[in-house]
């Protein structure tokens, strides 16, 4: 497993919306709000239907379309982000037995399924949003112009894979989100989904920072894919912020290109640039890879960024040679291999209903049932972080960011059975010290006012 090293200061976060299905015994219809309520009760006792923050600093809530959504706590290194992203899966998985028991107690027997994916059988989509704190003094629009070709082509190692019917023909696509992207940039996350969302809520000092909000990516089961997805984006963002521009890579039609790339698992499709050149997704990525190498050569050694670059280079080489070499690392490749093996074994076609079921089951977060986890249990998946770290992150926030202050405060309030109000940037113990405690610095794991409150209420300071 990798060991976290110091990174250039940046805050990362992932928001994952999960698919939810209740399969009743006896065919009884049950509103998803009721099912989701039972899941909430397992995570946040007595707080349904409001959203809430957890003791590990994360936020759990209901999003549009009755999807449970888990937002990681603020992380200042990529490995912590991978760990806390996985912790969200484990927390939801842990709620399933008690949620099903609550329904049985009401005479509603059945199984609850939670899927970490991005589309349902009706063609609806729900997101995986990436958040990067970035400098306010850098021209946002110049940054986005340089980032869009990168995000359009990044799917070749971050896509989750999808069996999709296009014009009546079943085909395998690299990305689940690609077909639902309609704009280059937009402020909307539903009606006109874009590659880069322009929402600017830094949850920090707005004079110094803004938020880069990326909604084009897929939810990943693979830790390797999450690590590379976020790591490469962070590396490219740092590079551009510091003046290492990537020029001349603008695509003629970014929306068209992202769909064309997704529908070609051979990775041979060329997309047209503004200047008339035509390049494959791998070739576009190599331009960014080479520029990143120039950038890193001028920086102090950083073990994580260096590792991201090395893995990125290796992945591009293998994608160029034969994508199936990455069956242990990349979700869309792993799933394609799994389904192809099944099709070969059963001598069926790709439009067989069982194929669509396999596609969905790959994303089941229940480790005794999900196909990704069954493969992992057999040593067929490469992990990036230790399971012990994931288990710890279910209740413990990152120790180097504002999330630690939030988590400590929540644990304290619950231990004292006190009502409290929490958001990303403030904390409040209701009915006592009505003053709102602001926590505007996401890099600070210590807050003097919270320490004072804890000391006055309990006479004890939280251990640091």
At residue 91, does pLDDT exceed 50? yes
Is residue 24 in some structural domain?
no
Q: Identify which of 222, 229, 210 has the alpha carbon closest to the alpha carbon of residue 132.
A: 210
For residues 86 and 390, the answer to whether their CB atoms sit within 8 Å is: yes
Contacts of 3 (CB under 8 A, 6+ apart): 79, 303
Is residue 345 in some structural domain?
no
Encoded tokens for 368: 């005794």
At residue 8, does pLDDT exceed 90? no
> Which residue segment(s) compose the domain that 442 sits in?
401-458
Mean pLDDT computed over every residue of the chain:
91
Considering Cα of 28, then 31, then 37, then 39, what sign does the dihedral take? Answer: positive
Considering Cα of 30, then 34, then 36, then 41, what sign does the dihedral take? Answer: negative
At 251, phi and psi to the nearest 5? Answer: -85, 145
Q: What is the mean pLDDT of residues 377-397?
A: 98
At residue 379, does pLDDT exceed 80? yes
Element (H, E) at 169: strand 169-173
At residue 412, does pLDDT exceed 80? yes
Is residue 430 in some structural domain?
yes
b (16+ CB within 10 A) / e for 20-50: bbbeeeeeeeeeeeebbebbbbbbbeeebee
pLDDT given at position 121: 82
Is residue 436 in some structural domain?
yes
Query: What residues act catalytically?
Result: 63
Burial (Cβ within 10 Å: 0-12, 13-18, ≥19) of residue 68: buried
Q: What is the mean pLDDT of residues 95-121?
A: 93
At residue 167, does pLDDT exceed 60? yes
The DSSP output letter for 178 is G
Is residue 145 in some structural domain?
no
Q: What is the number of domains present in the chain? A: 1
Q: What is the mean pLDDT of residues 150-174?
A: 95
Strand-pairing partners, residue 364, are 115
Contacts of 413 (CB under 8 A, 6+ apart): 419, 420, 429
Please tell me the distance from the alpha carbon of residue 317 to that of residue 411, in angstroms, as a whole number: 47
Please tell me the distance from the alpha carbon of residue 263 to that of residue 172, in angstroms, as a whole number: 7
Q: What is the mean pLDDT of residues 111-122?
A: 93
Is residue 448 in some structural domain?
yes
Is residue 276 in some structural domain?
no
pLDDT given at position 461: 44
Per-residue pLDDT tens digits for 219-228: 999 999 999 9
For residues 230 and 14, the answer to whether their CB atoms sit within 8 Å is: yes
pLDDT band at 45 (very low <50, low <70, confident <90, very high): low
Bridge-based pairing of strands 128-135 and 209-214 is antiparallel
For residues 77 and 304, the answer to whether their CB atoms sit within 8 Å is: yes
pLDDT given at position 33: 86
pLDDT given at position 30: 80
Per-residue pLDDT tens digits for 298-332: 999 999 999 999 999 999 999 999 999 999 999 99
pTM confidence score: 0.94
At residue 438, does pLDDT exceed 50? yes
pLDDT given at position 75: 98
Strand-pairing partners, residue 251, are 273
Please tell me the distance from the alpha carbon of residue 147 to that of residue 153, in angstroms, as a whole number: 10
Is residue 447 in some structural domain?
yes
């Amino acid at each position: 497993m990798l060991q976290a090293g110091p990174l250039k200061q940046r805050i990362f976060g992932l928001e994952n919306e999960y698919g939810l299905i209740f399969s009743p015994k006896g065919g009884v219809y049950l509103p998803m709000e009721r099912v989701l309520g039972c899941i909430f009760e397992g995570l946040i006792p007595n707080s349904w239907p409001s959203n809430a923050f957890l003791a590990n600093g994360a936020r759990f809530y209901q999003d549009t379309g009755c999807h449970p959504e888990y937002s990681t706590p603020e992380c200042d290194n990529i490995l912590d982000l991978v760990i806390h992203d996985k912790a969200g899966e484990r927390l939801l998985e842990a709620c399933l037995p008690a949620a099903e028991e609550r329904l049985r107690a009401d005479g509603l027997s059945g199984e609850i399924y939670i899927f970490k994916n991005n589309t349902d059988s009706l063609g609806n989509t729900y997101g995986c949003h990436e958040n990067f704190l970035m400098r306010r003094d850098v021209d946002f629009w110049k940054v986005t112009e340089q980032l869009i070709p990168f995000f359009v082509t990044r799917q070749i190692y971050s896509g989750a894979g999808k069996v999709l019917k296009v014009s009546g023909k079943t085909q395998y696509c690299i990305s689940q989100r690609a077909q639902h992207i309609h704009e280059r940039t937009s402020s909307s996350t539903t009606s006109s989904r874009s590659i880069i969302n322009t929402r600017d809520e830094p949850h920090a000092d707005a004079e110094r920072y803004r938020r880069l909000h990326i909604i084009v990516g897929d939810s990943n089961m693979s830790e390797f894919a999450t690590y590379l997805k976020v790591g490469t984006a962070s590396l490219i963002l740092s590079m551009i912020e510091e003046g290492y521009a990537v020029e001349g890579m603008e695509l003629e039609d970014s929306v068209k290109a992202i769909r064309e790339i997704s529908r070609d698992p051979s990775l041979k499709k060329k997309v047209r640039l503004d200047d008339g050149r035509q390049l494959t997704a791998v070739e576009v990525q190599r331009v960014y890879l080479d520029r990143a190498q120039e950038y890193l050569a001028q920086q102090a050694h950083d073990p994580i960024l260096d590792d991201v670059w090395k893995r990125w280079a290796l992945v591009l080489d293998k994608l160029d040679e034969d994508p199936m070499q990455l069956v242990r690392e990349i979700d869309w490749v792993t799933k394609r291999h799994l389904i192809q093996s099944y099709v070969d074994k059963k001598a069926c076609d790709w439009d067989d209903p069982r194929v669509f079921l396999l596609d969905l089951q790959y994303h089941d977060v229940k480790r005794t049932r999900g196909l990704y986890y069954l493969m992992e249990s057999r040593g067929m998946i490469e992990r990036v972080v230790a399971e012990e770290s994931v288990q710890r992150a279910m209740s413990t926030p990152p120790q180097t960011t504002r999330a630690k202050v939030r988590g400590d405060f929540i644990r304290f309030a619950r231990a004292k059975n006190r009502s409290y109000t929490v958001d990303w940037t403030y904390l409040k113990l209701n009915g006592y010290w009505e003053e709102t405690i602001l926590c505007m610095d996401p890099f600070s794991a210590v807050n003097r006012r919270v320490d004072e409150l804890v000391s006055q209420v309990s006479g004890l300071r939280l251990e640091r």
